[in-house]
Structure 1
Amino acid sequence: MEILIVEDELEIARLIQLSLEKEGFSCHICRDGLSALQMVQEHQPDLIILDLMLPGLDGLEVCARIRQKPGMKDPYILMLTAKGEEIDRVIGLSTGADDYMVKPFSPRELVARVRALLRRSLRQGGQHQVYRTQHFLVDVDQRSANLQLNPNQSEILDLTTLEFNLLTTFVSNPSRVWNRTQLIDKLWGSDFYGDERVVDTHVARLRKKIEPDPANPTFIKTVVGVGYKFEDPAT
Structure 2
Amino acid sequence: MAVTVDLNSDSGEAFGSWAMGDDETMMTLVSSANIACGFHAGDPLTMRKTCTAAARNGVAVGAHVAYPDLVGFGRRFMEIAPAELTNAVIYQMGALEAVARTAGSRVSYVKPHGGLYNAIVHHEKQAQAVAQAMKDFGGDLSILCLPNSEIEKAAQRLDIPVVHEAFADRGYTPQGTLVPRTEPGAVVHDAQAVAERVLRMALEGTVVAVDGSIVKLDAQSVCVHGDTPGAVEITRAVREKLTGYGVDIAPFTAS
TM-score by length of 1: 0.31
The higher-RCO structure (CA 8 Å, 6+ apart) is 2
Using structure 2 for the length normalisation, give the TM-score: 0.29
Query: Which protein has the larger Cα radius of gyration, Structure 1 or Structure 2?
Result: 1
